[in-house]
Structure 1
Amino acid sequence: MMKIAVLLFVVATAYAVSAVPVEGKDYPRYIQFPDGDGNLHDVDLEAEPDYELLQEIQRNPANNLYLLFTRANPTSSQTLVMNDGNSIRNSNFNPNRVTVVVVHGWLSNQETDINPTVRDAVLGRYDANVIVMDWRRLAISDYVTAARGVPDVGRGLGQFINFLNRETGLSLNNVHLVGFSLGSHVVGNAGRELGGRAARVTGLDPAGPLWTYSSNKISSNDAVYVEAIHTDGNTLIGLGIGRNVADADFYPNGGYNQPGCITGICDHNRAWRFFASTVTRNHLIANECSSSLQVSLNTCRGSEFPMGNNDLRKSGSGMFRVNTGRNYPY
């Protein structure tokens, strides 16, 4: 009996360790990564990037589309143009409101599901400026090129926020940058361009491939408060980075294999679905974990802390686990 008990303990421990959010994670050369519609695409992580496109993005990092939604125009966007004050004055933009910027991931655009989902959640909660950033010019390129250009796209977003600050007096204390997958690293770099002065940066399952050891990944220095929600960070095969990168790192249901999901794509997308639901309800309350093993074994019993939500004055740090349901609102 003793031998069986020991064997079971070893097996359980090995299983748990395989799921632990790790500090370093490599990927095989050939992987599959989803677009915004959930279709998988073959990716060669050692492919040569499109240097010509990268040089263009670097020369003009502000070459993105910024689409404003408010309660006065909740579904019909108004286009804001960098360094064009009239585009701001002729819009419903109000610098006294909270400004939430939503940034999509790879092979996505303004129509991708994350944008209307988060937009509607925010505007259903309060009257804000919701700006959907469409960076498809780079995002529709191959994964390696898109990842390589993310810092410049983020720099462009930071410059755009600085333009709003100069033009309208928008306080960075009222700015919340929200990004999904590759977009998580975009908003991290935007926050860096702002000197870490934005109120909040939220990374929704930050992309893992090519980012584990990158100094350009989202980090805790990118805003006053930085939060990451990890939903597909399983070792070696996860689409998300699966490691602590923020002030507060949340691992719903252990950080991978989300209830109701049978694919990594579903797990990955749960990050923005969870976030939108918490903006509406602020109901997913996590417990702090003292170790990655606690995250995996579901033995976190530390202080409670809400995952997600729309609180710009939110503050805290640590590693957290929350267990959710299979279906909305989770």
Structure 2
Amino acid sequence: MIEKNLVQQAVSKAYADNKALTGGENASYIPYLASVPSDLFGVAVVTTGGEIFSAGDVKFEFAIESISKVFTMALAMEQIGTDAFRKKIGADPTGEAFNSVIALELHGDRPLSPLVNAGAIASTSLVAAKDKEDRYQQILGIQSAFAGRALTMSTEVNDSEQTTNFHNRAMAWLMQGAGAMYSEPMDAVEVYTRQCSTLITATDLAAMGATLASGGVNPLTGKRVVKAANVGPILAEMTMEGLYTASGDWAYTVGLPGKSGVGGGILAVVPGQMAIAAFSPPLDPVGNSVKAQAAVASVANTLGLSLFSRP
């Protein structure tokens, strides 16, 4: 394990080096996200031993957005197993934007990945529940278990998104026609939208990733959240599509399973060691935070954490 002082030095360096970085814009298609102060910036690391290292605005609560896809996927895998999940949802990059209808049409209106919107909506529909409220509470529950504290949904974020999610509704109906939805389609879209409206901090996000890094056990609470056998498939999905069409570049330059969200969060998982998280609202054209990407990459590269360049 890397020495504690080296981890904090890497986190502090990533924050200092990238605090003045410019470029990108807040997500504007969701009114709430457009209003978040664009100068907020925080970097956090949580290790598998439960140590926390941070710099900047790591206590500010932001919308989890697409990072929620990882934890709904984890819940569905717990319920039906990884093989069944892969057959129903997929494990391949789409090569298109995260909200692409073309990607669906090219593959018979069936999703390829749980980490783009179409596959994430299908994943949400796959969670076994007695009704949509039960489904949502299960998803919020596993998000909280990963974070190590009770998380809550922002009504303001949710209202902002529920009134602008027509594109997602259209994709759900396309998948319904192909037999790729597993609950009432509009109920699934509503729950998916709610799961994206959870508020988290950069430290929460690092703890969520550290739970995967430690084989499914939350290092802050000591509680098992998911089966150890499911962690590998989760990380594989993150590697394939975690940063959308930039996932290949991320693997090339950072070498860690990652996930982004249009709320400005970025997460990277170092199996057996730690998770690195960062938050900054302005996004690049792909939908990934400009500063958060740079900060997470800085920590990973400073500490030599790439999975693909170890002796």
Return the structure number with greater helix share: 2
Return the structure number with greater strand share: 1
TM-score, shorter chain, exceeding 0.5: no
Greater relative contact order (Cα < 8 A, sep 6+): 2
Larger radius of gyration: 1
TM-score (norm 2): 0.29
